[in-house]
Chain A
Amino acid sequence: MSRIVAAMSGGVDSSVAAALLAREATDDEVIGVWMRTHGDLPEGYELSRSCCSPDAADDARRVAQILDIPFFILNVEREFGDRVIDAFVDSYLEGATPNPCQACNQYIKFDELLRRGLAAYGADAVATGHYARLEHRDGRWRLMRAADADKDQTYFLWVLSQGQLARTRFPLGDLTKPEVRAMAAELTLPTAQKPESQEICFVPLGDYRALLEERRGYAGDPGPIVDARGERVGTHTGYAHYTVGQRHGLGVALGEAVYVREVLPATNTVVIGRRDEVAQRSFTVDGARFTAGEPPTERFEASVRIRHRAPDVPAEVTMVGRDRFVVETAEPVWAPAPGQAAVLYDADECLGGGRITRT
């Protein structure tokens, strides 16, 4: 008999993933786990609806009851605070664009749940509601795009190692979102009609500026907005309030659309440019990881994706050191933002990726 931990967020996807496992598992034992990522609000307050609120825990628990599986709450507040929230804030302070969903997947859902969850529950594997597929071919695990191209989440999963992939299940990989919703309705799961969570779960109303002040005391210090030639064209409220590619909230009227091209913490400067000035054909990536454990070769062709739901672009990848590579794309890509992941694919297989650095 083996045990599988089903990570349950309280959303429809992870509910159906757990249901599929619980239904197919005859010898296997499925255990539902909801991860508590942040603390309680003061007593007497109505709680907001997001994937990590206690409301979500209630939903996850109800689903586990209906599936007749044990259900536990795993507290990961400390790890989430350090690895996701603080990293999110620090990313802005470095002039970069944070990638909290990937950090949460990497450090919380996989590192922490695999390590602690497997030890606590004596389980062999972890299952999540991600849209991705796994194949074992030619002696290794391969992370493959989901059947539902529109929902594919491999962009957030490129960090997984062979050891992690071997102990991971993605029950939804072959399904489309409408199929998942239909299954949830058929099983009368209370989460069947739940809307997609889009906002960042720990940033109420999307106002991350308050978080910068709360966690790191950054209140914002006005400074210059300059154009590509270095000429001052406006004033910003603090460099960390801006990210590369941003168009709105610049307060600059130059007669055509302008975008943030660079954020420079050292001089508290925000550089803007026209659309064509923000696109690039080459950028550097560090913190590289490959699902196979190492890159295919020192120099290889791949398609690259630089943000969730952005189109893939054919590129040539050149390793420069153990965990850095340079990407040269066949055509200019829109605003590669420091801090965001650049993820590499060979057709439907996710090869790995890294973090875009300032070039």
Chain B
Amino acid sequence: MAIYLDHAATSPLRPEVLEAMMPYLTTHHGNASSIHASGRRARQGLDEARETIAGLIGAKPREIVFTSGGTEADNLALKGVAWAASARGRHIITSSVEHKAVMNTCAMLERRGFEVTYLPVDRYGRVDPSELAAAITERTILVSVMAANNEVGTLQPIAEIGAVCRAHNVPFHTDAVQAAAFGPPTPDAWQATLIALSAHKLGGPIGIGALYVRQGTALLPQMQGGAQERQRRAGTENVAAAVGFATAMRASYRETPNTALRDRLIGALTGLTGVQLTGHPTERLPNSASFVIEGIEGGDLVAALDLEGIEASTGSACTTGSVEPSHVLLAMGIDEQLAHGSLRLTLGPETTAADVERTISVVEGCVARLRASAPQVAASA
């Protein structure tokens, strides 16, 4: 059995989630919009899932819009608000360390005439709320800053950012896809207008997410079709997945994350020559250990670890072999060469102390082997 340390990419489906979904995948067929009994039964599953999620985050059920995942939720938030508010202003503020779902949506909006400000971050990847305040103009229609970073695990001072937005009366969107795996996002405490969520980061199924939309927010739907999700997201509701999402969220908030194993991993690996922690030392996701390692390509190390039975990541689940170093690491001021050597290990509830000890020794061995193959050595072979 491989040691799976890539929970930030996706997490294993919880057994109770599968169990809760099974009826809706087998006997409880039915379209939640149908009039008949099967339809009503599906509708009930969907309504209860929505209520559960709303209840867990302190929102009203009508403020939860189910989507196909975190990426769609981010797209709906940004484009939905941008198009709805474009007559009032065309300025959006985000950070320079966002997930590509936000980054590339902003880039698309820029091509369509919007102006986007990318706030810088400190060496830990954090936005300074006073810089946000300075960037807001009367034409600013949306601020989008993630709650926790997917690559380096850094938590943003999200309540302070929300307070700045509230003080300037600008809608605030936050991508909480990673953060929501470790405790409920809180729209009121964060003063958030929109929050993007995903099920599969917290033991739910892939293929469903949600956007929290504060009541009264003007949002133009990005999918045309039926009147589902209060006309904010057309398409037949994925009832089984919604039930799984709600079950996973409830289960995940009953757990207290174990940070001791993560801290052991960080302590041991940063003790190796040429290895440094990326992201904030304490203000970070409880399961996230991320590094840059001198003298290696992150992709090569991840392949090497895989062949030793350890499943890790360079920082984002990219299988296309792109050579571009992470925009997150560059924004944090990490040297481009060093940024190529990124490694992200994200633990899960099933991770054991023995897994962590084995990982430490295998990483050490693989890094040594990769460094030994540096070009000047091979040239003499």
Interface residues of A (CB under 8 A from B): 3, 31, 36, 39-40, 43, 54, 57, 70, 72-75, 77-78, 111, 114-116, 118-122, 163
| Contact yes or no, A120 B381, CB < 8 A | no
Given A115-B373, A115-B378; A40-B320 close (CB under 8 Å): yes
Query: Nearest Cβ distance between residue A148 and chain B, in whole angstroms?
Result: 31
Stretch at the interface among B138-146, B297-305, B342-350: B297-305
Is B189 at the interface (CB under 8 A from chain A)? Answer: no
> What are the 8 closest A-B residue pairs judged by CB atoms, nearest first?
A119-B373, A73-B321, A120-B300, A115-B378, A36-B321, A75-B321, A77-B323, A72-B303
**What CA separation (Å) do A39 and B297 show in the bound complex?**
17
Provide a sorted-by-A list of 6 A–B residue pairs whose CB atoms are within 8 angstroms.
A74-B299, A74-B300, A75-B297, A75-B322, A116-B297, A118-B373
Query: Nearest Cβ distance between residue A56 and chain B, in whole angstroms?
Result: 12
Contacts of B299 in A (CB 8 A): 72-75
Contact with A along B302-320 (1 / 0, CB 8 A): 0110110000000000011
Q: Which of B104, B300, B369 has the most CB of A within 10 A?
A: B300
Interface residues of B (CB under 8 A from A): 104, 297, 299-301, 303-304, 306-307, 319-323, 369-370, 372-373, 375, 378, 381
| Contact yes or no, A116 B307, CB < 8 A | no
Tell which of A40, A70, A122 touches B322, judged by Cβ atoms closer than 8 Å. A40
Contacts of B372 in A (CB 8 A): 119
| Contact yes or no, A31 B373, CB < 8 A | no
Tell which of B297, B307, B381 touches A70, judged by Cβ atoms closer than 8 Å. B307
- Dominant secondary structure at the B interface: helix
| Contact yes or no, B323 A39, CB < 8 A | yes
Contacts of B306 in A (CB 8 A): 70, 72
Given A40-B320, A40-B322, A111-B378; A121-B369 close (CB under 8 Å): no
Query: Nearest Cβ distance between residue B41 and chain A, in whole angstroms?
Result: 39
Known: A40-B322, A119-B300, A163-B381. 6 other contacts (CB 8 A): A36-B320, A40-B320, A74-B321, A75-B297, A114-B378, A116-B297
Query: Nearest Cβ distance between residue A55 and chain B, in whole angstroms?
Result: 12
A123 to B, closest residue via Cβ? B307
| Contact yes or no, B321 A31, CB < 8 A | no
| Contact yes or no, B370 A120, CB < 8 A | yes
**What CA separation (Å) do A339 and B372 show in the bound complex?**
34
| Contact yes or no, A73 B319, CB < 8 A | yes
| Contact yes or no, B307 A73, CB < 8 A | no
Query: Nearest Cβ distance between residue A184 and chain B, in whole angstroms?
Result: 25
**What CA separation (Å) do A75 and B321 show in the bound complex?**
6
| Contact yes or no, A119 B369, CB < 8 A | yes
Contacts of B322 in A (CB 8 A): 39-40, 75
**What CA separation (Å) do A321 and B240 show in the bound complex?**
76
Query: Nearest Cβ distance between residue B256 and chain A, in whole angstroms?
Result: 36
**What CA separation (Å) do A54 and B318 show in the bound complex?**
14
| Contact yes or no, A121 B307, CB < 8 A | yes
B319 to A, closest residue via Cβ? A73
| Contact yes or no, B375 A120, CB < 8 A | no
**What CA separation (Å) do A36 and B299 show in the bound complex?**
12
Given A73-B321, A120-B301; A31-B307 close (CB under 8 Å): yes
| Contact yes or no, B300 A116, CB < 8 A | yes
Contacts of B375 in A (CB 8 A): 115
Query: Nearest Cβ distance between residue A333 and chain B, in whole angstroms?
Result: 34
Contacts of A119 in B (CB 8 A): 300, 304, 369-370, 372-373
Contacts of A118 in B (CB 8 A): 373
Query: Nearest Cβ distance between residue B279 and chain A, in whole angstroms?
Result: 24
| Contact yes or no, B321 A121, CB < 8 A | no
Query: Nearest Cβ distance between residue B283 and chain A, in whole angstroms?
Result: 32
Query: Nearest Cβ distance between residue A230 and chain B, in whole angstroms?
Result: 45
Tell which of B104, B320, B369 touches A73, judged by Cβ atoms closer than 8 Å. B320
Tell which of B104, B303, B323, B381 touches A121, judged by Cβ atoms closer than 8 Å. B303
Given A40-B320, A40-B322, A78-B323; A122-B369 close (CB under 8 Å): yes
